[in-house]
Amino acid sequence: MPPAAVPASGIARDDEMLFSESQSRFVVTVRPEKKAAFEAALAGSMLACVGAVTGGDLFRVRGLRGGVILEEKIGDLKEAWQKTLRF
């Protein structure tokens, strides 16, 4: 997905895009066959398709200029998250 799809008015840096705490943002996963109905239900609202779930084992993020700014194995990311919960 192109990074330009992210509603990012006034955002000039990748870290701002990734970690912005703007109000009223939601991330929703919608099955491809339900995409049109979902978008129709939210017609008139600001929304954008900013990614896709694939069968691969990588989490990849493209920055505002289109280059890959993050690419990690999902298993490694899960382990880093769960590691902090083991005490």
Residues near 69 by Cβ (< 8 Å), separated by ≥ 6?
Answer: 14, 61, 62, 63
Residue 41: in which H helix or E strand, if any? helix 35-41
Tell me, what DSSP letter sits at residue 50? -
pLDDT tens sequence across 51-79:
888 889 999 999 888 899 999 999 999 99
Is residue 30 pLDDT above 80, yes or no?
yes
Share of the chain above pLDDT 70, in %: 93
Position 51: which residue type? G
* Percent of residues, the chain, with pLDDT higher than 90: 48
Q: Confidence band (pLDDT; 50, 70, 90) for 47?
A: confident
* Cβ burial, residue 11 (10 Å; 0-12/13-18/19+): middle
> Is the Cα torsion angle 80, 60, 14, 51 positive or negative in sign?
negative
Please state whether the predicted TM-score (pTM) of the whole model is above 0.75: no
